[in-house]
A and B are shown apart, each in its own frame.
Chain A
Amino acid sequence: MKLSYFPGCTLKNKAKSLDIYARKSSELFGITLEEIDNWQCCGGVYSTAKNDVATKLASVRALKQAYEKGQALVTVCSACHNVIKQTNHLMKNDTAIAKKIDRYINDGSMYTGQAQVYHYLEMLRDIVGFDEIRKKVVNPLNGKKIGAYYGCLLLRPSSVMQMDNPENPTIMEELISALGGQSIIYANRNECCGGYIAMESGELARKKSNQVIENAKKAGAEMIITACPLCRYNLIKNGSDIPVVYFTELLAQALGIKGDTNE
Chain B
Amino acid sequence: MNKAYPTEELLRISGVNPNKCMKCGKCSATCPAYDEMEYHPHQFVSMVNSGDIEPLMNSESIFKCLSCFACVDRCPRGVEPAKLIEAVRIAVVRKQGNNHLLADDVPNMLDDEIPQQAIVSAFRKYSK
Question: B15, B32, B122: which contacts A196 (Cβ < 8 A)?
Answer: B122
Find out whether the CB atom of B120 lies under 8 angstroms from the CB atom of A9.
yes
- A236 contact from B14, B72, B101, B113, Cβ within 8 A: B113
The answer to whether B70 and A192 have CB atoms under 8 Å apart is yes
For the complex, what is the distance from the CA of A92 to the CA of B66, rounded to whole Å?
26
Q: Is the CB–CB distance between B69 and A157 below 8 Å? A: yes
Chain B residues contacting A233 (CB-CB under 8 Å) are: 113-115, 118
Task: Select the stretch in B19-27, B48-56, B83-91 that faces chain A.
Answer: B83-91
Instruction: Please judge, given known A-B contacts A10-B115, A10-B116, whether A199 and B68 are in contact too, CB under 8 Å.
Output: no
Q: Is the CB of B122 within 8 A of A194?
A: no
A208 close to chain B: CB less than 8 A: yes
Chain A residues with CB under 8 Å of B12's CB are 50-51
Q: What chain A residues lie within 8 Å of B80 (beta carbons)? A: 48, 157
A261 at the interface (CB under 8 A from B): no
A-B complex: 4 closest residue pairs judged by Cβ atoms: A44-B121, A192-B68, A152-B68, A156-B69
Cross-chain contact B120 with A48 (CB below 8 angstroms): no
A187 CB within 8 Å of chain B: no
B91's nearest neighbour on chain A, judged by CB, is A49
Tell me if B's interface is mostly helix, strand, loop or mixed. Answer: helix
B126: contacting residue among A10, A192, A200, A229, CB under 8 A: A200
Within the complex, the shortest CB–CB distance from A90 to chain B, in Å, comes to 11
Q: Do B124 and A44 touch across chains, with their CB atoms under 8 A apart?
A: yes
We find that the number of chain B residues with CB closer than 8 angstroms to chain A is 39
30 A-B pairs, CB-CB below 8 angstroms?
A: A9-B120, A43-B120, A43-B121, A43-B124, A44-B122, A44-B124, A48-B83, A49-B83, A50-B13, A51-B13, A52-B90, A79-B121, A151-B68, A152-B68, A155-B73, A156-B70, A157-B69, A166-B73, A191-B70, A192-B32, A195-B121, A196-B125, A197-B33, A199-B118, A199-B119, A199-B122, A200-B126, A204-B33, A204-B64, A233-B113
Q: With A156-B68, A192-B32, A204-B36 in contact, do A10 and B117 touch (Cβ < 8 Å)?
A: yes
| B 55-72 binary contact with A (CB < 8 Å = 1; else 0) | 000000001101111101
Query: Which residues of A sit under 8 angstroms from B69, Cβ to Cβ?
Result: 152, 156-157
In the complex, what distance in Å separates the CA atom of A41 from the CA atom of B109?
21
Q: Are A48 and B122 neighbours in the complex by a CB distance under 8 Å? A: no
Of A194, A197, A228, which is in contact with the most chain B CB atoms at under 10 Å from its CB?
A197
Q: Which residue of B lies closest to A236 (CB)?
A: B113
Would you give the shortest CB distance from A47 to chain B, in whole angstroms?
A: 7
Q: How far is the CA of A49 from the CA of B48 in the complex (A)?
A: 15
